[in-house]
Amino acid sequence: MNKNNSPSHVNIIDEDAYAEELYNDLIESCSKHVKVKDIKLIRKAFDLAKESHKGIKRKSGEPYILHPVAVAKIVTSEIGLGAKSITCALLHDVVEDTEYTLEDIDHFFGNKIASIIDGLTKISGVFDNQSSLQAENFRKMLLTLSDDVRVILIKLADRLHNMRTLDSMPPNKQLKIAGETTYLYAPLAHRLGLYSIKTELEDLSLKYRHPKPYNETALKIKDNEKKRQQEINRFSLPIIEKLEKSKFDFDISGRPKSIYSIWNKMQTKSVPFEEIYDLMAIRIVFKSINNETEKAQCWQIYSIITDIYTPKPDRIRDWISSPKANGYEALHLTVMGPNGKWVEIQIRSERMNEIAERGFAAHWKYKGEKSNEGELDKWIRKIREMLENPNSNALEFLDEFKMNLFAAEIMVFTPKGDLKTLPKHSTTLDFAYEIHSEIGNKAIGAKVNHKLVSLNHILRSGDQVEIITSNKQKIQTEWLNYVKTVKAKTSITDAIKAETKDRIKKGKKIIEKKLKELNIHPSSKVFRKILPEFEVYSKDEFYSKIGSGLIKLDNLKKILKKNTKNKIIRYWGLQFSKSSSSSKDKKNNTTEKQQDKFNYTNPVIIRDNSDQEDTVKYEIAKCCNPIPGDEVVGYKNPKDNFIIIHKAKCPTAIRLMSSEGNFIVVAKWTSQKFISFLVKLSLNGIDRLGITSDITSIISEELSVNIRKIFIETHDGIFEGEIELYVHNVKTLNNLILNISKVKGVNLVKRKEDIAN
């Protein structure tokens, strides 16, 4: 919980009077969601919170009571929860930050509220050394999900208020909290159906992670506001007239897409703001008519709209026949507007709209109307199963959980007609593990719609799947590449670990027995001689390959007698020589020194939490390959304080901000022109004679840039290619891209992140 939030500095003279103002505002906000008799409970919680935090100030100078009251207000007015949740929101920091205990809360407010407060209180203790505190806390917090989802909803409200008031935090803390929000909390809000909260969390996170593009995009949206409103009115008028003639009671509104969604689309499609055409969406919310189903009314409105505007057939989303796992129901379509731009339209009933706006809170309200278990309840049950896996590492869980948060879903059938929901792009092997882990472990193939297919066959909605098993089947490592679901990945990983452990144990016994026969003690010196001969990099890998029969020890005696003094040992593609006298070794040593110079000549200033600039050892991350001009952050390895420089928008960096945010440091480029950085460009266009020569001429002769590698391939008059070259900074690179794009026939030039080492 963040105490240093608000950017404005105020001077509160009368703390009690200020607190009373906050309380009255809260009661006014929650009037729709609580009964008069519940006000007493809320007042009791407020008084305890005010007393507990009395005298504690935020960095803004405001009394700390502002934070729990603000969280309570979000809980009631933006999520729609009732008195117990408001009470818990008011008390959510009391046990963590004051002398009051859970037993005190239980005594004053009862077991249920104490249980929720327990879920909201920070968890401390001894964790696995390879897990981060944040990752383990998040994992344990989710354990409460199936017990009482209000814990998660209040936690999201807490995070939202912290994000709204993040300005006064130091930059490294802003990056940590913003990265954590993007990586976990925004997707979690999405999954629970809290779309407005999810959108605001994404926008605020972007504001702190990428302030310049955030401000530029926000300004462009504001500049277009008047024009956009005119377009909405022009577009909506004929729809309004037709709906009124058909006696619909409805509300129609237009809204711009969020700053984050526009920025994200600009990034993924490599296009400027001006080329994002679906900047607005129209929403129609109607009141249900007696004796007519909401579904029929949705399709009736759809029919009216498509009589006016031409729909895009591949952009119809029917979430009324099959609601999303978070309970979301709506009919979406995209039509061609009068100005030649695509416009998305969302059609919802008032009930559907409440679920979309309030998320799980509204889903709860309407859940009683359905006899079957809802998709969201099934998802929560699956999360519980994942969390209860004793072999689950916190960071691994975090990655797998994130992977499945945003997953679109398909619905497939068992041979008996039972319906199973899986993430989009799931395979037959995912389906096997969804049925039971033992079915997955023994799967050898499947029949999809009575046709024989492989285990990596991708399923589609409506498929009927039968798994074929064999007791002789053995789990394959490559199966991890076949599956999409957390359950399948976890089951396969656990089985492989168990099998590997057995092989290592078996292999160790074999080699120890063999060495004993040769009267040799198994020392590190012996293994340094043996491992390179078998082209393995660790003892565990060596033991495992012996245990599985991949390595035979028939010539072990001969290997141990060999003189390996001048042998070059290969590890992970790098060469290290054991002799320093040969010319080859001198060459290797020179290369190593040059590499060291490249890594540690300091084009980057690292600013640690202490705000002291220092010269530290670092390297450029291979996953995103940042160059001067890119926004960057540093990750300090806790084991050796070595720092890896990532792009701020790199997925790995975002994950690290979330799971190991305490090791994130601020980094910035210095102005230097002596070091070149390797970048890769991809390009395509219409092939013509001499186009390759024109491109290389611009790069080498006009711009004096060194090319490392160039590959151009043509097919049916179209060329595609990649160029690897060395540049000093982003400015040089952008200039280069601009000049190449002007070459006749070139259609697209863009930077790629991955660089071959």
> For 621-679, what is the HEC assignment?
CCCCCCCECECEEEEECCCCCCEEEEECCCHHHHHHHHHCHHHEEEEEECCCCCCCEEE
Q: Between these two residues, 379 and 246, which has the higher pLDDT value?
A: 246
Active site residue 344: no
Rounded Cα gap, residues 649 and 624, in angstroms? 9
The 8-class DSSP code of residue 458 comes to: B
Active site residue 251: no
3-class DSSP state of 344: strand
Residue 525's CB: how many other CB atoms inside 10 A? Answer: 9
pLDDT at position 177 is 85
CA dihedral 11, 17, 19, 22 (to 10 degrees): -100
Contact 145, 384 (CB under 8 A): yes
Residue pLDDT, tens place only, 206-228: 999 889 989 998 998 888 778 88
Map out the domains of the chain as residue ranges: 15-217, 219-365, 375-494, 501-564, 601-669, 677-752
Instruction: Using CB atoms within 10 Å of the CB of residue 218, give its burial: 0 to 12 exposed, 13 to 18 middle, 19+ buried.
Output: middle
Angle at 436 (CA atoms; ends 432, 439), nearest 5 degrees: 55
Contact 459, 465 (CB under 8 A): yes
Q: Tokens in use for 186?
A: 């925004």
Residue pLDDT, tens place only, 690-712: 888 888 888 887 667 788 888 88
Place 585 in a pLDDT band, splitting at 50, 70 and 90: very low
Question: Is pLDDT above 90 for 243?
Answer: yes
**Active-site residue (options: 96, 118, 350, 541):** 96
Rounded Cα gap, residues 171 and 212, in angstroms? 15
Whole-number Cα distances in Å, 501 to 378, 388, 507: 34, 22, 10
Question: Is pLDDT above 80 for 127?
Answer: no
* pTM of the full structure: 0.59
Residue pLDDT, tens place only, 594-635: 333 333 334 556 544 334 444 567 788 888 888 888 888 888
Residues β-bridged to residue 343 = 335
Instruction: Using CB atoms within 10 Å of the CB of residue 637, give its burial: 0 to 12 exposed, 13 to 18 middle, 19+ buried.
Output: exposed
CA-based end-to-end distance of the chain: 42
Rounded Cα gap, residues 523 and 540, in angstroms? 14
Q: Tokens in use for 298?
A: 């949705």
- Among candidates 576, 575, 570, 504, which has minimal Cα distance to 537? 570
127: left (phi over 0), alpha (psi -120 to 50) or beta: beta
Place 142 in a pLDDT band, splitting at 50, 70 and 90: low
Rounded Cα gap, residues 155 and 148, in angstroms? 12
pLDDT at position 466 is 92
Contact 77, 197 (CB under 8 A): no
Least confident of 231-235, 369-373, 557-561, 578-582: 578-582
Rounded Cα gap, residues 156 and 615, in angstroms? 39
Residue pLDDT, tens place only, 27-80: 888 877 788 888 999 999 999 999 988 888 776 678 888 999 999 999 888 888
Q: Tokens in use for 677?
A: 């950085």
Residue type present at position 404: N
Question: Is pLDDT above 60 for 731?
Answer: yes
Rounded Cα gap, residues 373 and 323, in angstroms? 13
Contact 606, 616 (CB under 8 A): yes
Contact 13, 63 (CB under 8 A): no
Helix 39-52 and helix 83-91: axis angle, to 10°? 0
Least confident of 194-203, 509-518, 529-538, 740-749: 529-538
pLDDT at position 290 is 62
Q: Between these two residues, 396 and 314, which has the higher pLDDT value?
A: 314
Rounded Cα gap, residues 435 and 458, in angstroms? 17
pLDDT at position 570 is 33
Q: Do domains 15-217 and 677-752 have the same CATH topology?
A: no
Helix 66-73 and helix 83-91: axis angle, to 10°? 160
**Active-site residue (options: 97, 104, 278, 396):** 97
Percentage of the chain beyond pLDDT 90 is 16
Question: Is pLDDT above 60 for 204?
Answer: yes
- Which parts of 247-362 are beta strand (E)? 250-256, 280-286, 317-318, 331-336, 342-349
The DSSP H or E segment spanning 481 is: helix 479-482
CA dihedral 696, 702, 706, 711 (to 10 degrees): -10
Rounded Cα gap, residues 37 and 52, in angstroms? 24
Rounded Cα gap, residues 303 and 520, in angstroms? 84
Residue type present at position 480: L
3-class DSSP state of 167: coil
Question: Is pLDDT above 80 for 647?
Answer: yes
Question: Is pLDDT above 80 for 263?
Answer: yes
Q: Which fold has domain 15-217?
A: Hypothetical protein af1432 (1.10.3210)
Residue 347's CB: how many other CB atoms inside 10 A? Answer: 24
Whole-number Cα distances in Å, 738 to 234, 580, 702, 735: 37, 48, 13, 5
Contact 717, 706 (CB under 8 A): no
Residue 667's CB: how many other CB atoms inside 10 A? Answer: 24
Q: Which fold has domain 219-365?
A: Beta Polymerase; domain 2 (3.30.460)
Please give the class, per CATH, of domain 375-494: alpha beta
The average pLDDT across 374-380 equals 57
Question: Is pLDDT above 70 for 583?
Answer: no
Residue 639's CB: how many other CB atoms inside 10 A? Answer: 7
The 8-class DSSP code of residue 416 comes to: T
Contact 193, 356 (CB under 8 A): yes
Least confident of 10-24, 362-376, 459-473: 362-376
Please give the class, per CATH, of domain 677-752: alpha beta
Q: Tokens in use for 564?
A: 């390996």
Question: Is pLDDT above 70 for 666?
Answer: yes
pLDDT at position 293 is 81
- Name, in order, each residue with C-beta under 8 angstroms of 90's C-beta and a sequence gap of 6 or more: 42, 45, 46, 48, 49, 68, 69, 71, 72
Residue type present at position 517: E
pLDDT at position 304 is 95
